Amino acid sequence: MNGLSATVYGDRGYISQPLKETLKEQGIDLITYPRKNMRVTLLPFSDEFHLRQRKRIETLIGLLKEKYHLVTSKHRSIAGFLAGVFSSLCAYQLCQKNKPKIHVIKSLAYP
């Protein structure tokens, strides 16, 4: 996996120096907002934008779980899990009228 890198956006609950170091060794950047008792650092525009998009994604997952019966804990195989996710997404696409839009922008830091 040489040459691959990733960015993970999480909430304040994931802030931990050992976790950040472990992910950094694997080529993964963990981006979170700082906690209230932490020093404030300025984030690049793209990271700030993607952190704000997290809220929309979590809302969509909550809607899939509540209204379209997405269950993520009762599967016996990966295929069964993916079939449940796929069926919930299909039901969402067919039945939901006002869908939230998630805009993805390409980071300037990564080609």
Q: What is the pLDDT of residue 108?
A: 55
| Residues 23 and 41 sit within 8 Å (Cβ to Cβ) | no
Q: What is the pLDDT of residue 43?
A: 80
9 three-class SS: strand
Q: Is the pTM of this model over 0.75?
A: no
> Rounded to an integer, what distance in angstroms lies between the CA atom of residue 29 and that of residue 35?
18
| pLDDT per residue as tens digits for the range 47-70 | 888 888 887 888 888 888 888 777
38 three-class SS: coil
User: 92 pLDDT band (50/70/90 cuts)?
Assistant: confident
Residue ranges per domain, the chain?
1-37, 42-111
> Rounded to an integer, what distance in angstroms lies between the CA atom of residue 94 and that of residue 54?
23
| Residues 11 and 33 sit within 8 Å (Cβ to Cβ) | yes
